[in-house]
Amino acid sequence: MPPPDPEQLPYLLDFFPLQDAESTQISHFFDELRAGRLVTSYCPPCDRLHWPPRVACDTCTAEKLEWRTLPGRGKVFAFTAMMLGAPMGFEKDLPFVIAVVEVEGAPFKVLARVDDAKYEDMSIGMAVVLKVHRLRDGRVFYRFRPA
CB of 46 to another protein, least distance (A): 15
Nearer Cβ to another protein (37/82): 82
DSSP E strands, 1-108: 38-43, 48-49, 66-70, 73-82, 96-103
What is the distance between the alpha carbons of residues 3 and 16, in angstroms, rounded to a whole number?
Answer: 8
Q: Is 34 exposed, middle or buried (0-12, 13-18, 19+ CB in 10 A)?
A: middle
CB of 121 to another protein, least distance (A): 13
CB atoms within 10 A of CB 105: 14
Nearer Cβ to another protein (7/14): 14
CB of 49 to another protein, least distance (A): 10
Nearer Cβ to another protein (46/82): 82
- Per CB under 8 A, residues contacting another protein are 11-14, 51-52, 77-91, 93, 96, 98-100, 108-113, 119, 124, 141, 143
